[in-house]
């Protein structure tokens, strides 16, 4: 079997996505997700100009060889654009392998270890009061076992994807000292509202300095967070150790990591309890399973990034990883019931705090190109934060 065509599909059904479709001479094709919020066009250009020529005429079954070719064969390794492009292709190749062998992806990864996948949902709202007021009802109505809060009031609602301005990022104010108090108060009030049996994940979204994060985390120790997510930025490796040594709450980290090697110190140093890379950012299924296995070696669980800016294809890939890995921890459920389902069929479904998927060969999703064309891509930026004195701060 040989690859005859590679198509990139940029589309904006209320959020920007980039899909990859790889077609073979047997008629079997595979689909993958290469979405990189705020840089989708650059990823598509890289695939079209540089990676597609390497794929045409190749055996789609040589997944590891292509991964290494794209990663090492450029000499200039990695980066978000390269790894996202590689992921879209990697997913599509695994999808082809599943379809040609008639097996779901999880079966190719070693088979099912569990039938359902514990997941957590985001508590959304415009203000802190709004979110606190909704939390308990939302938990009851959806029968949630675990919820996720995000530091930062007002939240980013409405600033994502195609809703953001076309000529530059939307600016959100950020005053860390004030947000330390807001963040502590917010968590404690949600804990009081939902009771002690609901797990609460707190995403600090890389927004605090090590000392600020430590103040928040220590203040929340008595309120039993399920884990604190990305308390600090990933750039300085030693900072994570510093935070770890000064706090006792479980830590999940890694949605900005781009490779196994970036995860390595956090894993081997036991600075995290959960590794939560984004499968797209690390170059797809091939790399994610290596990260999972590295984490398993060190008794660290997985909590793959699953936000609403990735498509049902990535949610499905997360699910296949979750059911087939020993060290599964929890899965972020960023699935939405929006327009994306006109473009992508399949993917996990939510029921009583867990995610389920029907058995289908491969990843179990398909992309409708005609539907994608109904929602033309519009370039957009991720927002930025500025502090009171005008200086830029990590968003």
Which residues are near ligand KDG by CB under 6 A?
A: 37, 203, 205, 255, 305, 307, 309, 332, 334, 382
Range in contact with Mg ion (rule: CB under 5 A) among 97-105, 111-119, 202-210, 277-285: 202-210
CA end-to-end distance (rounded Å), the chain: 45
Q: Which of 33, 95, 203, 366 binds Mg ion (CB under 5 A)?
A: 203
* Distance separating alpha carbons of residues 282 and 255, to the nearest angstrom: 9
Q: How is residue 104 annotated by DSSP? A: B
Stretch that binds Mg ion, among 83-91, 199-207, 285-293, 361-369 (CB under 5 A): 199-207
Stretch that binds Mg ion, among 67-75, 196-204, 256-264, 335-343 (CB under 5 A): 196-204
The two tokens of residue 88 are 């879209």
Tell me whether residue 11 or residue 35 sits nearer to Mg ion (CB atom): 35
Q: Which of ligand KDG, Mg ion, none interacts with 37 (beta carbon under 5 to 8 A by kind)?
A: ligand KDG
Smallest separation, CB 205 to ligand KDG (Å): 5
Report the residue number, 52 or 318, with the smaller CB distance to ligand KDG. Answer: 318
Comparison of 29 and 202: residue with beta carbon closer to ligand KDG: 202
Separation between Cα atoms, residue 140 and residue 127, nearest integer Å: 21
CB nearer ligand KDG, residue 22 or residue 155: 155
332 lies in the site for Mg ion, by CB under 5 A: no
> What is the Cα–Cα distance from 115 to 129, expressed in whole angstroms?
37
Between the alpha carbon of residue 314 and those of residues 39, 259, 344, the distances in Å are 17, 17, 11
Q: Which is nearer to ligand KDG, 40 or 332 (CB)?
A: 332
Q: How far is it, in rounded angstroms, from Cα 227 to Cα 247?
A: 12
Binding mask 149-188 for Mg ion (x = CB under 5 A): ----------------------------------------
Contact call for residue 333 and Mg ion (CB under 5 A): no
Pair 250, 225: CB distance under 8 Å = yes
Element (H, E) at 149: strand 146-150
* Residue 287, binding choice from ligand KDG, Mg ion, none, Cβ under 5 to 8 Å by partner class: none
The residue with its CB nearest to ligand KDG is: 307
| Site for Mg ion contains 206 (CB under 5 A) | no
Query: Is the separation of the CB atoms in 217 and 179 below 8 Å?
Result: no
Q: Which ranges in the chain belong to alpha helices (H)?
A: 40-46, 52-55, 63-72, 80-101, 105-108, 128-142, 176-194, 210-219, 237-246, 260-268, 285-297, 312-324, 340-343, 369-373
In the complex, what is the shortest distance from the CB of residue 227 to Mg ion, in angstroms, rounded to a whole number? 11
Partners of residue 301 on adjacent β-strands: 274
Residue 178 is classified by DSSP as: H
Contact partner, 259, from Mg ion, ligand KDG, none, Cβ < 5-8 Å per class: none
Q: Which is nearer to Mg ion, 203 or 309 (CB)?
A: 203
66/319 with CB nearer ligand KDG? 319
Alpha-carbon distance values, 377 to 138, 157, 193, 215 (Å): 33, 20, 41, 42
Cβ proximity to Mg ion, 230 vs 366, nearer residue: 230
User: What does 121 bind: Mg ion, ligand KDG, none (CB cut-off 5 to 8 Å by kind)?
Assistant: none
Which pair of structure tokens corresponds to residue 87?
């992921």
Binding site for Mg ion (CB under 5 A): 203
């Amino acid at each position: 079997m040989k690859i005859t065509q590679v198509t990139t599909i940029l589309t904006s059904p209320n959020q920007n996505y980039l899909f990859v479709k790889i077609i073979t001479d047997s008629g079997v094709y595979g689909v993958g997700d290469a979405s990189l919020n705020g840089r989708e066009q650059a990823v598509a250009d890289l695939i079209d100009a540089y990676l597609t020529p390497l794929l045409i005429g190749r055996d789609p079954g040589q997944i590891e060889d292509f991964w290494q070719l794209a990663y090492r064969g450029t000499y200039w390794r990695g980066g978000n654009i390269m790894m996202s492009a590689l992921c879209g292709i990697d997913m599509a190749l695994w999808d082809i392998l599943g379809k040609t062998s008639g097996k779901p992806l999880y079966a190719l990864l070693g088979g099912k270890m569990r039938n359902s996948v514990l997941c957590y949902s985001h508590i959304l709202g415009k203000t802190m009061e709004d979110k606190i007021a909704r939390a308990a009802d939302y938990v009851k109505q959806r029968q949630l076992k675990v919820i996720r809060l995000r530091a930062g009031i007002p939240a980013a609602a409405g600033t994502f994807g195609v809703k953001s301005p076309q000529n530059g990022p939307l600016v959100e104010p950020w005053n860390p000292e004030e947000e330390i108090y807001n963040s502590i108060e917010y968590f404690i009030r949600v804990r009081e509202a939902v009771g002690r049996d609901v797990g609460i994940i707190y995403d600090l979204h890389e927004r605090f300095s090590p000392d600020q994060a430590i103040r928040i985390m220590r203040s929340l120790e008595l309120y039993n967070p399920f884990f604190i997510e990305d308390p600090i930025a990933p750039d300085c490796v030693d900072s994570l150790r510093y935070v770890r040594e000064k706090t006792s709450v479980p830590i999940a980290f890694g949605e900005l990591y781009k490779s196994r090697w970036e995860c390595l110190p956090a894993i081997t140093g036991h600075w995290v309890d959960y590794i939560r890379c984004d499968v797209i950012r690390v170059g797809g299924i091939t790399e994610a399973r290596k990260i999972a296995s590295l984490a398993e070696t060190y008794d660290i669980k997985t909590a793959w990034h699953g936000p609403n800016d990735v498509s049902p294809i990535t949610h499905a890939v997360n699910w296949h990883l979750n059911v087939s890995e020993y060290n599964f921890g929890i899965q972020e459920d960023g699935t939405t019931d929006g327009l994306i389902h006109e473009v992508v069929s399949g993917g996990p479904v939510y029921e009583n705090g867990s995610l389920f998927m029907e058995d289908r060969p491969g990843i179990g999703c398909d992309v409708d190109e005609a539907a994608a064309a109904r929602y033309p891509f519009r370039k957009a930026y991720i927002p930025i934060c500025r502090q009171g004195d005008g200086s830029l701060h990590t968003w």
